[in-house]
Amino acid sequence: MAKHNTEDEEFKIRLKEYKLELKIIYEKSQDAFEKQLSYLSAGALGFSMLFIEKAVGEVSEARLSWTLLFSWILFTITLTANLISHWLAARNMSKSIKEIDDNNYNSDRVNKRISKLNVINVATILTFFLAILSLGIFITTNVMNKNSKPSFEKKGLVPTPAPKHPSSFTSQTPTAAPVKPSTKTK
């Protein structure tokens, strides 16, 4: 019986160690998630601006330009919400540490704060994917539009004006001066 209690206690200790390990991994995962989401949102925002300059030209000439504006707004919301989430996570962690130090820890309060952060994180994922979708629609529409133009327009070549019939020319062309014979003697 004593051996059985010892095994149970060892298991509980290993389980607590495992729980701490999982918490560390979870925190690192959350940190990596927020960084990657910020990098992806900022990168997609920059890519879309470069795309317009190189592939579309003027936004006023683009088709469905509202989808581009919508994607920019969503990327901005994603970045802003991600920053707020990061700030709240740090603030919540600080509150939890203070509550532990003050012997006022309540897991229900902590879980409530965590669930609020999870709502923000889900919202950032949603706004990010909607921004990507909107940008994809804009790019696809405008690349297809650009590919449907005649080939000389795609290459930026402008054909020369058609030649005129010789009878339409006037005699305004300058004539050469008569050549004088040489007066040199041998």
Condensed to tens digits (0 to 9), the pLDDT of residues 12-40 reads 788 778 777 777 777 777 778 878 888 88
- Tell me, yes or no, whether 124 lies in a domain: yes
In one-letter notation, the amino acid at residue 125 is I
> What's the number of CA atoms in the CB half-sphere (13 Å) around residue 166?
0
Residue 89 lies in a domain: yes
- Is the residue at 19 inside a domain? no
Residue 32 within any structural domain of the chain:
no
Residue 174 lies inside a defined structural domain of this protein = no
Domain count, the chain: 1
Q: Report residue 135: phi and psi, to 5°.
A: -65, -40
- Whether 86 maps to a domain, the answer reads yes
Instruction: Indicate the DSSP class of residue 180.
Output: P
Q: Is 10 part of a structural domain of the chain?
A: no
Condensed to tens digits (0 to 9), the pLDDT of residues 68-94 reads 999 999 999 999 998 898 888 888 888
Structural domain for 55, as ranges: 38-156
With respect to residue 111, please indicate whether it lies within any of the assigned structural domains: yes
- The pTM assigned to this predicted structure is 0.62
pLDDT in tens, 36-48: 888 888 888 888 8
**Amino acid identity at 132:** I
Buried b (16+ CB within 10 A) or exposed e, 20-38: eeeeeeeeeeeeeebeebb
